[in-house]
Amino acid sequence: AQSVSQHNHHVILSEAASLELGCNYSYGGTVNLFWYVQYPGQHLQLLLKYFSGDPLVKGIKGFEAEFIKSKFSFNLRKPSVQWSDTAEYFCAVNEPSSSNTGKLIFGQGTTLQVKP
Amino acid sequence: KAGVTQTPRYLIKTRGQQVTLSCSPISGHRSVSWYQQTPGQGLQFLFEYFSETQRNKGNFPGRFSGRQFSNSRSEMNVSTLELGDSALYLCASSPTQGNYGYTFGSGTRLTVV
């Protein structure tokens, strides 16, 4: 079965530090990839998504992610974090060409704490 | 335009009772999915509806059910509630199945006592 692994469960950074959150998935076929963010007390919001084309995807709030098919990875990056980036980050995958097309598989999430 | 609306926001129920949660998708969105979020299990897929038909179901017992109406609004029902059903239940909508990303609602926080 498809699975998504986020390597870092809890990350603590100082403001202006660079961020990279790891995400690996297990499915070998065509995938759609997503990063969602959940700010404290708020709902899940889509940061960015990859369906096809340029493997370097730019999202909102200065985030970007790179799809590396050979490594089954979709890591999230931001050059300089801000205190307001404190949140939980979820990587998610779905399989657009299968009967599971409407099903998102989420990683366990990474809690990012940015110290001012 | 309005986002995904879930009602109620909070709910407290007793073991053995049943509960119905409601989700109104973004106008024009025809696909609605439901997820359960708990600290231990994270976000888990419950089911997806498209054009009033259940297209996909996660690994949850039959006590969890749902439906979608002709206006794309969806409800999920949990019967014979157990303490372990306490969770945040999230609804997500998409214009169509699968390929467009999903917009999530704020969720319904269900507490079973």
Strand partners, A48: A35
- How many interface pairs between A and B have CB atoms less than 8 angstroms apart? 62
Higher pLDDT, B98 or A104: A104
Q: Do A106 and B43 touch (CB under 8 A)?
A: yes
Closest residue in A to B54 (Cα) is A102
Q: What is the pLDDT of residue A100?
A: 65
Of all residues in chain A, the percent with pLDDT exceeding 90 is: 75
pLDDT, mean over chain A: 92
Interatomic CA distance for residues A104 and A2, integer angstroms: 10
pLDDT digits 0-9 by tens, A29-61: 888 899 999 999 888 999 999 988 999 999 999
With CA atoms as reference, report the closest residue to B102 among A111, A51, A71, A40. A51
Nearest to B101 among A34, A42, A99 (CB): A34
Report the residue of A46, A90, A103, A106 to disrupt the B interface, i.e. the one with the largest count of B CBs within 10 Å.
A103
| Vertex B32 angle, CA B30 and B33, to 5° | 155
The answer to whether B100 touches B64, Cβ cutoff 8 Å, is no
Please give chain B's pLDDT, 113 residues, in tens: 679 999 999 999 999 999 999 999 999 999 999 999 999 899 999 999 999 999 889 999 999 999 999 999 999 999 999 999 999 999 999 887 655 678 999 999 999 99
Using a CB–CB cutoff of 8 Å, tell me whether A94 touches chain B.
yes
pLDDT for the residue A2: 80
Q: How far apart are CA B34 and CA B107, in angstroms?
A: 10
- From its phi and psi, is residue A112 left (phi > 0), alpha (psi between -120 and 50) or beta? beta
Q: What is the pLDDT of residue A71?
A: 94
